[in-house]
Structures are given as structure tokens and as C-alpha cells.
């Protein structure tokens, strides 16, 4: 009975359905309390999400429920449930999926959750929880989402025991810790989101290329990470190295634990310059977001090996040096954001190879020279380049000097060739001036001698004519 615009309180007629196994009242306008008699029905699936329930009767204390050993799926997300976590849920010994996200629950995530051996999916996003201990995490978890709460302290080390974990989303909290190196013990991890916390320090030296064999979404943005973007980190992202374009069928994260055929994994990421909710996470999508940290040094050329990347965001750090030309090897890239760093030099013409690039942001760096043109570059607006006063050429209104050359994809060393050409021209020009002066001097010298000779000859003629005239006068 989902999405039927049902209003009022919980439907009373359901009370007598003793053999009911599957109940879906989601996405209606029901309000008030969830009645205690609902637990007298041997339900295996209960979905009351996206309503306005504001009370869980008989759930405030850890008492036993009549059919606590039958319930497999409990979805109460997007209601207005207040108070602390209802500990009676911990008695549901067969529970596989628990979604209580987007409510008003607070306090500590209870330790008793760690005693549910069958729990595979735990989603407590968008509540007011402020702490979680190591005892609250069942070892069989495949998906753990506690993002957008108020969780403080360090990450519980018991997460290292969740060897089957595929999705870990802890973003939007106040966790203060160094990068959890024990994540290397999670070989099945596909999605890692730690954004908007207080993680700090370097990412560490891993020295292994197989730490994250299947990880394809990594979001560490808006933290306090420092140090160089280590080559070891790039080498460790094995799941981002191999393209999957040849897959015959699209696969989604969570397909292998899609309980009752309804649960879909989702994640909120920054893609193509804006935050977006991916209500299903396709395994073909590969994203690396390290923005708004304190990374410095040069972007390593080794980044070229992450060939399956669709989105790369390194903005708002302290990266310097030139944009690595090896980025042109990431031919699957659809979004590239290197804005607000200290990058210098020309824009590599190799980026013209990125023919799938829909969004590019190079603003607020120290880039210079003519902007490459052709392919996707002809679609980008001024905003992609603003804050680089030494860049010129379309789409900017700032014109380039006539001697500026246009970088093209076929000239990898365009700047070197540019300088070399002008050295040759300059040398020829200087030589021409010297030869010109020499020839001119010789011509002027010959002209001066001829002029002087003509002058003497003319003067002699004038004297002879004068003497002849004087003798004629005397004779007369």
C-alpha cells in the first residue's frame, strides 16, 4: 500500500492480519505512533518509511518483542521519530536490514546493535547521534552509513573486523582522527566516504598496489589532510585502474545483498561541479575527490594509471607545479576540477584528448599562455579559467600577443618549440642587422668617394672656364 496518499493514524484493520508476512505502507501521510500491536504479527518485512510517525510505542526499552525472531527487514526512514535509539530493535535476532535514517534520533548508537549477528545493512544517516563505540558494529556488515550526524571522537577500530564491508559512509560528522590505515583490511570495500569531518595528517605511506582492489568511489574532501599526494596512494587504488567499458550488463553496488529485491545503495557525491545524490551506485562510476584539504606539492604523473576515473576533484588545496600532461591519458574522465590551487605554466594540450569531458574547472591558479582549442575545450565558458590573469585566447576576452602560439594535441613540447623558434628567429634577425650595416657602410663609402671625385672634376672644369673667359675679355 505504498504511495497511496493514505492519511491519518496507523490502519487499524491490519491488527487482525495474524498471518501477514510483508507489509509496505511507505510514502504515505500517516502520522502519530506506530502501535505496539504491530509486533504481535509475524512480519518478516516491515516498511513504514516516508511518513510522519513520531513515536515508537513499546520500543523505548530493551524488552522482548513477540515475534522478534521473524523480522528480517525494518525500514522506518524519513519519519519524525525522536529520542534515543529504540533498543528493543536489538532483540530482532534475524534482522538483516535496518534503515532508520532521516529521523530525529540522538544520543549514542547503542552497543546492542553489535549483538545482531545477521545484520548486513545499517543505515542511520541524517539523525542527531553523537557517538558510536566499537561494540555497536556487527562483524557481518556489508553496508554502514552514519553520515550527517554529530558523531565525535575516533573511528571505532572494530570496523577492521568487517571484512565483507562494501560501503562505508561516515561523511558530515565531527570525527577527529588520522587516516584509518586499517582500512586495508577491508578487501571488499567499494565506496569510502569520509568527507566533511576533521580527519588530519598525511595519508601515510602504504607501499602496496593492492590495498583497495575494488574501491571505485573515494571521497576525502573537506578535511584537514596534509602532505604530498603520494604516488603510493595512487598505486594503491587498484580498483580505479581498469576500465569496465566492455561489461555487457550494468551492475550496481548492493546487488548481491538486495534484500527482498527493494533495497538500493545510494551516495551523495560532488560530480560535475555540484553535489548530487546517486540513488543507485553503478559499478562503472569511478570517482576520486580530495578537495578542500591541505595537500601540497606536485600532482604526480602516476595519476595516469587511474584510467577508469570518471570524476577527479583536487580543488582548494595547495598543489603547485604544472598540470601533469599525463591527465590526458584519463580518457574516461567526464569531470575535472583543479581550481583554487597554485598550479602554473601552460594548460597541457594533451587534455584535448579528453573527449568525454563535460565539466572542467581550472580557475584561480597561476596558469599562463594561450588556452588550447578544439574538442571539448570549445564548450567551456569563461568561468573555467577565471582567476588566471596570464591566460589568454577564447573564450576569454583577453587577447594573446601575436607571437603566442596555440597549443595543439600534436605538439607536446609546444613551449620548448616556441622558445627555440624565437631563438632561431632572434639569431637570424641579429645577424641580418650586422650584415645590413656592413653592406650599407660599404655602399656609403663608395658613394662618398664617387661624390668627392665628381666634386673635384666639377671644380676643375669651373676654373678652366673662368680662365678662358678672362683671356677673351682681355683680347676684346
Per-residue pLDDT reduced to its tens digit, 235-287: 888 889 876 555 556 688 887 776 666 778 888 877 777 788 888 888 888 99
Strand, helix or coil for residue 296 = strand
324, 273, 186, 213: CA torsion to nearest 10: -40
Q: What is the CA radius of gyration of the chain?
A: 38
- How far is the C-alpha of 186 from the C-alpha of 175, rounded, in Å? 20
- Confidence band of 422 (pLDDT split at 50, 70, 90): very low
- pLDDT of 437-476, one tens digit each? 444 445 444 545 454 445 445 445 444 444 544 444 444 4
- pLDDT of 150-206, one tens digit each? 999 999 989 999 999 999 999 999 999 999 888 888 999 999 999 999 999 998 665
Give the model's pLDDT for residue 279.
80
Inter-residue contact 46 to 38 (CB < 8 Å): yes
Give the model's pLDDT for residue 249.
61
Give percent of the chain with pLDDT exceeding 70: 78
- Confidence band of 421 (pLDDT split at 50, 70, 90): very low
Grid cell of 307 as nine digits = 584510467
- How far is the C-alpha of 195 from the C-alpha of 3, rounded, in Å? 33
Total-model pTM = 0.82
When the pLDDT of each residue in the chain is averaged and rounded to a whole number, the result is 83
Amino acid at each position: 500500500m505504498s504511495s497511496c496518499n493514505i492519511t491519518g493514524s496507523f490502519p487499524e484493520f491490519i491488527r487482525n492480519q495474524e498471518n501477514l508476512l510483508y507489509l509496505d505502507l511507505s510514502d504515505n501521510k500517516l502520522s502519530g505512533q506506530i502501535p505496539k500491536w504491530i509486533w504481535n504479527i509475524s512480519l518478516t518485512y516491515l516498511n513504514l518509511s516516508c511518513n510522519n510517525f513520531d513515536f515508537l510505542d513499546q520500543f523505548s526499552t530493551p524488552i522482548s518483542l513477540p515475534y522478534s525472531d521473524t523480522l528480517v527487514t525494518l525500514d522506518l526512514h524519513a519519519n519524525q521519530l525522536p529520542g534515543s535509539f529504540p533498543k528493543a530493535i536489538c532483540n530482532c535476532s534475524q534482522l538483516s536490514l535496518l534503515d532508520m535514517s532521516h529521523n530525529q534520533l540522538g544520543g549514542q548508537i547503542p552497543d546492542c546493535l553489535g549483538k545482531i549477528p545477521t545484520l548486513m545493512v545499517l543505515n542511520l544517516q541524517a539523525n542527531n547521534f553523537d557517538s558510536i563505540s566499537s561494540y555497536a558494529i556487527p562483524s557481518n556488515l556489508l553496508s554502514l552509513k552514519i553520515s550527517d550526524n554529530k558523531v565525535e571522537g575516533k573511528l571505532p577500530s572494530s570496523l577492521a573486523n568487517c571484512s565483507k564491508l562494501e560501503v562505508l559512509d561516515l561523511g558530515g560528522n565531527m570525527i577527529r582522527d588520522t587516516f584509518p590505515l586499517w582500512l586495508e583490511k577491508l578487501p571488499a570495500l567499494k565506496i569510502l566516504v569520509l568527507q566533511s569531518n576533521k580527519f588530519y595528517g598525511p595519508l601515510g605511506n602504504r607501499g602496496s598496489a593492492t590495498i583497495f582492489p575494488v574501491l571505485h568511489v573515494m571521497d576525502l574532501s573537506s578535511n584537514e589532510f596534509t602532505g604530498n599526494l603520494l604516488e603510493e596512494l595512487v598505486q594503491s587504488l587498484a580498483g580505479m585502474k581498469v576500465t569496465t567499458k566492455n561489461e555487457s550488463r550494468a551492475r550496481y553496488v548492493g546487488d548481491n545483498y538486495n534484500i527482498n529485491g527493494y533495497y538500493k545503495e545510494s551516495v551523495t557525491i560532488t560530480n560535475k561541479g555540484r553535489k548530487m545524490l546517486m540513488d543507485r551506485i553503478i559499478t562503472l562510476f569511478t570517482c576520486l575527490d580530495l578537495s578542500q584539504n591541505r595537500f601540497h606539492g606536485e600532482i604526480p604523473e602516476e595519476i595516469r594509471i587511474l584510467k577508469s576515473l570518471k570524476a577527479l576533484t583536487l580543488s582548494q588545496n595547495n598543489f603547485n607545479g604544472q598540470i601533469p600532461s599525463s591527465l590526458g591519458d584519463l580518457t574516461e574522465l567526464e569531470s575535472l576540477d583543479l581550481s583554487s590551487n597554485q598550479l602554473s605554466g601552460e594548460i597541457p594540450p594533451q587534455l584535448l584528448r579528453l573527449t568525454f569531458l563535460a565539466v572542467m574547472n581550472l580557475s584561480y591558479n597561476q596558469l599562463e599562455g594561450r588556452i588550447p582549442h578544439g574538442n571539448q575545450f570549445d564548450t567551456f565558458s569563461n568561468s573555467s579559467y577565471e582567476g588566471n590573469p596570464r591566460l589568454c585566447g577564447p573564450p576569454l576576452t583577453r587577447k594573446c600577443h601575436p607571437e603566442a602560439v596555440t597549443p595543439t594535441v600534436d605538439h607536446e613540447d609546444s613551449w620548448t618549440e616556441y622558445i627555440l623558434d624565437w631563438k632561431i628567429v632572434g639569431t637570424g634577425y641579429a645577424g641580418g642587422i650586422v650584415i645590413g650595416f656592413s653592406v650599407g657602410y660599404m655602399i656609403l663609402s663608395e658613394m662618398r668617394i664617387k661624390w668627392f671625385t665628381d666634386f673635384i672634376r666639377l671644380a676643375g672644369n669651373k676654373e678652366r672656364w673662368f680662365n678662358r673667359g678672362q683671356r677673351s675679355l682681355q683680347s676684346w
